[in-house]
Structure 1
Amino acid sequence: MAQGSNFVDYVKVCCRSGHGGAGSAHLHRDKFTAKGGPDGGDGGRGGHIILKGSSQHWTLLHLKYRKHIIAENGGPGLSALRTGANGKDEILEVPLGTVAKDAETGEILFDITEDGETKILTPGGKGGLGNWHFKSATQQTPRFAQSGMPGKEQWIILELKVLADVGLVGFPNAGKSTLLSVVSAAKPEIADYPFTTLVPNLGIVGYRDNRSFVMADIPGIIEGASKGKGLGHRFLRHIERNAVLLFMVPADTDRSIAEEYEILLNELTAYNPELMDKPRLLAVTKSDMLDDELEAEMTETLPKGMPAIFISSVSGKNIQQLKDMIWKAIND
C-alpha cells in the first residue's frame, strides 16, 4: 500500500443528484385523430450518486481531488406514453470499511463492507407524471403535467476504517512496524523514534496450511489520544474495525508492563467503550534482551486473565507461537 500522503482516510465531497425530468402534457394526434386524448409520458428519474465497495481500492485518494460530484438530470416525458430517459448515475468506488456521514449533522448514513456492495448516497429526483395520469370522467383532456422533483445537494464525509483481523495497539516505538515487517510482506517505514507510522500499514500474514490473516499496524497511541491529542482520533478510528486487538509493550519500558497496558486500555475505553468487547492479547516485545530469570520475574507482573507472550521480532523468538495465539483468537 502506498505510504505517506497517498493513504487518504478522510474526504469531504459535495454530492448533487440529478433533477427528475418533467412529465409531458402531450395530446395524441395523427392523421386519423384530430383530437386524441392525453398520451404524455412520465419524466425520467434524476441520476443517483451511488457508493460501491471495491476490494481493489485501499484508500480514498482517488476521491481527494473530486470536490463536486454531479449526476445527470432525468429526461422529459415523451408522447405515446413514453417515459423520459433516467439520468446517468454517478458510481463512486470506495474501499471496504468506508463510512458515509452527513457533513452538516455528523449522522452516519451507512458503511460499505463488502466487495461489489452498492448503496445510494444521494438519490436522484423522481420524474414528473405525464398528463395521462390526470385524465378523469370530468377532465378528458388534461393539458398539464407534473414537473420533476429536484435533485438533492449535500456535503458528505467519507471516512475509511481499516478492516483487519488483528490490530496492533501500542505506544510509538513499541515494535509494531518491526513485527509487521517480519510476519508479512508489508514494508512499513521503521526508525527508532516515535510516530514513524503516520498511516496504518496493512500486512497479510501467512499462516499454516496456506491460510492467512490481515494485520494492521495502527499508528502509536499517546496518552490523551482519546481527547484528540496528537494524532489521536484519526488513528483510534482504525481500531474500531479490527477483530482482535494485540497490545504491544516493549520489555524495556520505563513503567511496569501492567501500567503501560492499563494506560493503553484507558485510552481505548475513553474513545469507545465497545472496544472492550474485543478479544485482547498481549505481546511483550524486544524480549531478546531478557534472560530466563528476568522473564520469569516479569511474567508474575503481567495483567491477569489475558493471553500473553514474550516475543522478539529481531531474533524471531516466539513469533510462530504468537501467530498461533492470534489465529485461535480470530477464530474463536
Structure 2
Amino acid sequence: MRILGIETSCDETGIAIYDEEQGIMAHRLYSQIAVHADYGGVVPELASRDHVRKTIPLVKEVLADANLTPADLDGVAYTAGPGLVGALLVGCSIGRSLAYGWGLPAVPVHHMEGHLLAPMLEEDVPEFPFVALLVSGGHTMMVRVDDIGEYQMLGESVDDAAGEAFDKTAKLLGLDYPGGPVLAKMAENGTPGRFKFPRPMTDRPGLDFSFSGLKTFAANTIRDNEQDEQTFADIAYAFQEAVVDTLAIKCRRALEHCQLNRLVIAGGVSANTALREKLATITQKLGGTVYYPRPEFCTDNGAMIAFAGMQRLKAGTSADLTFKATPRWPIDTLPSIKTTK
C-alpha cells in the first residue's frame, strides 16, 4: 500500500510518497524562507500563493523520483489542520481534487500527529506508551501517547511557543528570519554564566509552559548591556539554556508523573542540539531513551503526513469532498487507532 502526503500548513510545501513495506520512497520540500525574510515573519497571503504555485510541480517531481504513476497509489493524505487557514485550504483542495480525479480515498491528517509520529520513520521506533514533547514555532505541548490517537494532553504553552520565542529573541538580536537556528549557532560562542535567565513556570506544579517572559527578559538584557558581538552571543547562550532547561524540567516531571521512561521529541525545535543532549541525559538517568526524527523530518514535511496518513488509511479513515480545513484542532480529539494488544 502506498500513499501520497501533502503538507501545506504554514511556510513549507512538503510532498512525499510512503510505502507500507519500503518506507519513504521519495520526498521533496520547498521552503518559503526567502519569500518571508524581508517581512521578518510569515505573511499568510504570500504563504498561500506560494503553496498554489509549488504543490502540483512538487507532486509531479516526487512521482517521477519514485518512478510511479497515480495508478500506483492507494490514497492521498493532506494536512487538514491546525495551521494557517489559507495555506491549509490549498493543501486540502489539491489533496481532495487529486484523490477524486485519481479515484483514491482522501485522508485528512492532523499536523501535530504527523510530527508526533515522525520518529517512527526511523529504524529505532519507540514503543507505546510514551511521553511526547511537540515543540515548534507554533506549538509547544506535552502529550501522553498510549497508541495512535490515544492522546492525553499533559501541558501546553499559555502564550508563545518555544520556537516562536526563539525567533522573536533572534529578531531582538538583529538576526535574520528564521532566527531560531541562527540564535542556536550564535549561542555556541556564548560565555556560560555571564547572564542568568529565569526558568518560567518551573517553580510551581503542572506541565504548562510560558516563554513570552523570556523574550521580555532578553529585550531588557540587550537594552542594559553593551551592543557588541560577544554580549549578543552570551545573551543567546543564556536564552537557549533557559529554554532547554525549562523544557527538560517539564519533560522529567511528565515522565515521572506518567511513570514512563520513553520520551519522543518532535517539531522544528527538536533539531536543537543542546535540547537533544539535555533530554538524552534526563532519560538515561531514568533508565529510558529519547527518540526523535532525523533533522530533515523535524521541520514541516510531507513524509510525516504520508506516514500518519497511511496509519489512518489502514484504519479506514477518509473524507468526502465537503471536508474543510481546521485551523484549530485539539490533538486529543482524534479517534483512536488500536495498534497494540
**Same fold? TM cut 0.5:** no
| TM-score, scaled to structure 2 | 0.23
- Structure of higher RCO (CA pairs closer than 8 Å, 6+ residues apart): 2
| TM-score, scaled to structure 1 | 0.23
User: Whose strand proportion is higher, 1 or 2?
Assistant: 1
User: Whose helix proportion is higher, 1 or 2?
Assistant: 2
Q: Which has the larger radius of gyration?
A: 1
